[in-house]
């Protein structure tokens, strides 16, 4: 299914949370191919909020857009660390869905989170490493977990409350990524920070 990315900026028009997926071609064109290519996802939270936070997040997003082919997700974040040195820095998650291997690989630094929510309603929360990209981090682990068609990958910034869970949503919303992303922001978004959610159903 196509990824859905939703934002709720604290200081419009600026949004310190940014994200995307690559390759950007999506929908029937991407899914019609016999073996869909891996999809690289990113969610970035520029430190603070407002124009400077947005600038940091966009610098990272642009780096990822140019380097999403890199096989090692840790190298993508290390590359972002280099280009973010002159900015406030950012926290981020970079993930990759490998449809052929049925794996989700994940690397994160700081307070962005990822949850895999399965069709049997079990969930796995993936933990980011400590630090700020552009300022410093001590370790960077790439974790890889099995996924199946129907599973949801949900990435969110710390504008979403940490205790967020999907157990109370019915199957209609869980199978409609746009409605789910809107509901997560409405139900779990903080009023004191930018909020961003990226939802992909595998």
Residues lying near Mn ion in the complex (CB under 5 A): 45, 157-159, 193
The least distance separating Mn ion from the CB of residue 72, rounded to whole angstroms, comes to 26
Distance CA 31, CA 54 (A): 32
Tokens representing residue 143 in the block:
């974790």
The least distance separating Mn ion from the CB of residue 25, rounded to whole angstroms, comes to 29
Name the residue nearer to Mn ion (CB basis): 151 or 194.
Answer: 194
What is residue 33's DSSP assignment? S
| Angle CA 110–124–22, to nearest 5 | 60
User: Are the beta carbons of 195 and 8 closer than 8 angstroms?
Assistant: yes
36, 39, 69, 171, 174 from 1: Cα distances, Å: 11, 11, 20, 16, 12
The least distance separating Mn ion from the CB of residue 76, rounded to whole angstroms, comes to 20
CA-closest candidate to residue 47, choices 7, 91, 81, 101: 91
Tokens representing residue 20 in the block:
């995307």
The least distance separating Mn ion from the CB of residue 1, rounded to whole angstroms, comes to 26
The least distance separating Mn ion from the CB of residue 136, rounded to whole angstroms, comes to 18
Name the residue nearer to Mn ion (CB basis): 19 or 159.
Answer: 159
Name the residue nearer to Mn ion (CB basis): 16 or 39.
Answer: 16
The crossing angle, in degrees rounded to 10, of helices 73-83 and 51-67 is: 140
Name the residue nearer to Mn ion (CB basis): 10 or 97.
Answer: 10
Name the residue nearer to Mn ion (CB basis): 151 or 158.
Answer: 158
Q: Which residues pair with 193 in a beta bridge?
A: none
User: Are the beta carbons of 113 and 45 closer than 8 angstroms?
Assistant: no
């Amino acid at each position: 299914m196509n990824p859905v990315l939703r934002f709720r900026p604290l200081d419009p028009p600026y949004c310190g949370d940014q994200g995307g997926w690559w390759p950007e071609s999506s929908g029937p064109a991407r899914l019609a191919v016999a073996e869909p290519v891996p999809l690289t996802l990113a969610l970035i939270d520029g430190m603070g909020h407002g124009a400077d936070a947005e600038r940091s997040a966009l610098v990272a997003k642009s780096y990822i857009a140019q380097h999403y082919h890199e096989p090692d997700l840790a190298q993508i974040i290390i590359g972002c660390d280099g280009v973010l040195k002159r900015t406030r820095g950012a926290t981020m998650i970079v993930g990759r869905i490998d449809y052929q291997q049925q794996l989700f690989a994940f690397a994160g630094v700081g307070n962005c989170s990822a949850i895999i929510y399965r069709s049997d309603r079990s969930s796995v929360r993936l933990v980011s490493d400590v630090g700020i990209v552009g300022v410093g981090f001590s370790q960077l682990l790439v974790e890889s977990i099995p996924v199946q068609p129907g599973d949801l990958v949900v990435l969110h910034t710390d504008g979403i409350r940490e205790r967020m869970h999907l157990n109370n949503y019915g199957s209609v919303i869980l199978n409609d990524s746009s409605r789910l992303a809107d509901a997560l922001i409405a139900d779990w978004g903080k009023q004191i920070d930018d909020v961003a959610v990226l939802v992909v159903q595998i």
